[in-house]
Chains A and B, each alone.
Chain A
Amino acid sequence: MNRISKILFAAAILALLLAACAPAAEPTEEPAAPPPAAEPDEPMEDILIGGIHPLTGGLAADGINMDRAIQMAIDEINAAGGVLGGAQLVYLSSDSTGAADVGQTEAERLISEGAQALICCFQSAVTSNVAAISEREGVPLVIDVAVMDSILDQGHTFTFRLQPNATSMGINGANYLKDIAEAAGDSVESVVILFEGTTGFGDSVRAAFAAEAANLGIEVLDEISFEPFAVTDLTTEMTRINALEPDVLVVTGYYNDGLLAARNAEEVGLDVKAVYGLAQGTYDQPQFVTDAGDLAQCFFDSNFHWDAGNPDALAVREAYASEFGEPMRTGAVFSYQSVYLIADAIERAGSSDPGAIRDALADSDYSEYLLPYTGNIQFDETGENINARPVLMQVQDGEVLQVWPTDLAEASPIYPCVSWGD
């Protein structure tokens, strides 16, 4: 009896050690190298690409989605003959767990294991730390998703950002709002901003939006923050917002809290002309329509996005959906794009040396982009993508449609409109 207990105890300890030590052992990890189809005369050395995303924790849904997209892009490139005339890309996947310090040690680990380029992180706080490591170690980093301006304010020369930064999100977001209101023959005089206040991203976007709103003559009546991973209810916040009587409620945050905000807004009968997501992780997701049903109608979201008018982007998303049985989220399209950007840089560098890849990335002029940008992917000296911009989307009859700017619009914006209005 005693022995059985001891064995069980040992088994439990072993199990939890496994759980603690190998959180990255996701089903997403597949055998990296595909079967050797046509071996070149002399086998070329594999090129290692590291990826760091939150594969466990509150953001695991996005992180896993992005991780899979990287693997998918690498498999495609390898199947098409690899890079540099036959070298295979190998993916080193790792889990930031959503924590900045873990992301940092994972970056160090991947680089010590030979990663020649990194793609990361989905969270600004994690990205800041990883960028510092990539700079120190001289390994280029392509940021797929992370919005905080300050990541690239440190004078890093090895870091490149694919998505629009917080300033771009805020300035464009405020302008889009004013534009659609005016296009509808209406106006937006005042807003309240409800934002996640703990991971840095919400606050940086809020600040940029508020500054631009002041320029445009939109009054920011109040700014209310919440804690995205601890919030259980936003009814009191919504009551407070209702008492302030803004024209529009601007919401910035992640998926779950965005869903709570939408439900609670309906419950208190929030009296606004529109709810306007700003770099919001909910209102541009098809899953929002599934989860919220008819409540989702008319929610706006000004966010980074793939180009819904680009057939290549649609094909990639379809391929993803059929391979993994779940829709490819926006972030994953950016992760996917990052792999191709790095592969392009490796080809132009003619080398897999991290320094050479970095120089080639800095000279990028990538034209086969899937993103709704104003031109080829090019980076300025700080590493920002100079042609990046967000797109305004709106849920219309159960579909998330691009509605602004007009050159990207699939439909006209409906303003004013909330689904609980009479």
Chain B
Amino acid sequence: MAVILQSRRRKIIFAAGAVLLLAILLGLNADQASEWFEQNDPVLRQALVTGILIGGVFALVAMGLTLIFGVLDIINFAHGALMTVGMYITFVLFDNYGIDPYISILITVPALFLIGVVVQRVIIRPASNAPPHNLLLLTLGLALLLQNAMLVIFSGTPRSIRLDYGRGETPIGPFIIDFPLHLFGTTITLNKLIAFIMAMVLAAGLYILLQKTDLGKAIRASAQDKEGAALVGVDIQRIGLITFGIGVACVGAAASLVLPFFFVDPVAGNTFNITAFVIVVLGGLGSIPGALLGAFIVGITQEMGVVFMPSSTKLLGVFIVFILVLLFRPQGLMGKKE
């Protein structure tokens, strides 16, 4: 008990010190603060809006990652490369056949699900008795393989698509809305809005799947206790296949959603995956709600970095939050205690 108290006291002292340091760094007093706030008001609002919108996409990527970890205990380093595959599928469908990226979700999601199932069956399961670091290397190798294959097929030239709607007056149902939307001094583009809404719908769908269906119960049971699940008749091999497929399908959807405002080159997916790793650890490895919460925290913190850390890279703020959270909750925000 004394030890715990001592360590807690140390943490509090540490945190107080950090806050004090931050205050000194910012050199704020009340007057300056209000003046500063007035000056940065529009930027703060935009940071909040952008953070939430981009956080939605991060959430989708992170949920796939955390789901796979929760059930299979695999940290999937190929997640980003698989997202790139989804982005290229979306690009090719748009470029060659004129298929709208939001329609092509109907193709990328099943395609990536299938790829996930095949990867799990052919590459990962045969090695599943190997030590965890071997599995880690295996997924890392798969990432390299995929990246270089895409480099050979598509070359390194970045590709992007430009939708012919969403700029200017756009009919949405009975309304005609002028995009990009300028609300309360912030800018919201149609493509980011759609990405956010669809990501949230898919996240809700995933949640319902996990909570309400038999399949979801089996997946959660496997995550909690593999042997126990097997004992009550859950086919854990099959669940492993499906889980990996669903996890990878998440990045398939994310891939189609980001392409209209991003670009694709053979390493484009990594940009999202690096952030997703941070989110997953922040939210608690294996926790779906944790991934959602973590994604918004990271998205907003990252954008707020633009305001609070002049002339600095915005990910710095994310890592400060990351370290602080892990200091107080080493298991992540919503992770289970060991």
Contact = CB atoms under 8 A, between A and B. Distances in A.
Given A6-B126, A240-B43, A267 B180 contact: yes
Contacts of B303: 233, 236
Given A57-B267, A232-B54, A243-B43, A64 B311 contact: no
Interface stretch (A15-23, A30-38, A85-93): A15-23
B142 interface: yes
B314 A226 contact: yes
Interface string B122-162: 11011100000000011011101101100110011111101
A225 interface: yes
A163 to B, nearest CB: 21
Contacts of A267: 180, 187, 189
Interface stretch (B200-208, B210-218, B258-266): B258-266
Contacts of A6: 126
A256 B144 CA distance: 21
B162 A292 contact: yes
Contact of B311 (A58, A63, A223, A227): A223
Interface string B159-184: 11010000000000000000010100
A255 B158 contact: yes
State the majority secondary structure of interface residues on A: helix
A56 interface: yes
A61 B54 CA distance: 27
A243 B307 contact: no
A235 B187 contact: yes
B6 to A, nearest CB: 38
Contacts of A243: 39-40, 42-43
A17 B307 contact: no
B160 A12 contact: no
A226 B311 CA distance: 8
Contacts of B189: 267
A20 B274 contact: no
A198 B159 CA distance: 23
B209 to A, nearest CB: 27
B159 to A, nearest CB: 8
A227 B315 contact: yes
Nearest to A14: B141
A263 B261 contact: yes
Interface of A: 5-6, 8-9, 12-13, 15-17, 19-20, 23, 26-27, 55-64, 197-198, 222-227, 229-233, 235-237, 239-240, 242-243, 255-256, 259-260, 263, 267-269, 287, 291-293, 326
A12 B122 contact: yes
Contacts of A5: 125-126
A236 B47 contact: yes
Contact of B272 (A58, A232, A269): A232
A19 B145 contact: yes
B322 to A, nearest CB: 14
A408 to B, nearest CB: 27
B46 A235 contact: yes
B315 A224 contact: no
Contact of A56 (B43, B151, B315): B151
A16 B311 contact: no
Contacts of A15: 141, 145
Given A20-B144, A243-B42, A230 B315 contact: yes
B265 A256 contact: yes
A326 to B, nearest CB: 7
A226 B145 contact: no
A260 B271 CA distance: 14
Contact of B148 (A23, A225, A237, A256): A23
Contacts of B266: 56, 60
Contacts of A326: 155, 157
B310 interface: yes
Contacts, number: 155
A20 B137 CA distance: 11
Interface string B259-285: 001110111000110110000000000
13 contacts: A8-B123, A16-B138, A16-B140, A61-B156, A64-B156, A222-B310, A226-B313, A232-B271, A235-B50, A236-B46, A239-B187, A240-B46, A243-B43
A91 to B, nearest CB: 19
A16 B144 contact: yes
Given A6-B126, A16-B145, A293-B162, 14 more contacts: A12-B142, A16-B140, A55-B156, A222-B310, A227-B313, A233-B54, A235-B46, A235-B50, A240-B46, A260-B262, A260-B263, A267-B180, A292-B162, A326-B157
Given A227-B314, A230-B274, A235-B46, A9 B127 contact: yes
B331 interface: no
Contact of A239 (B42, B141, B271, B274): B42
Q: Which of B144, B152, B312 has most chain A Cβ within 10 Å?
A: B144
Contacts of A223: 311
B278 to A, nearest CB: 11
Given A23-B148, A243-B39, A63 B138 contact: no
Nearest to A195: B311
Q: Which 5 pairs show the lowest CB-CB distances between chains A and B?
A: A16-B141, A60-B156, A61-B156, A5-B126, A239-B46
A232 B271 CA distance: 7
A216 to B, nearest CB: 22
Contacts of A230: 271, 274-275, 313, 315
B312 A225 contact: yes
B157 A237 contact: no
B101 to A, nearest CB: 15
Interface in B79-97: none
Contacts of B123: 8-9, 12
A6 B142 CA distance: 17
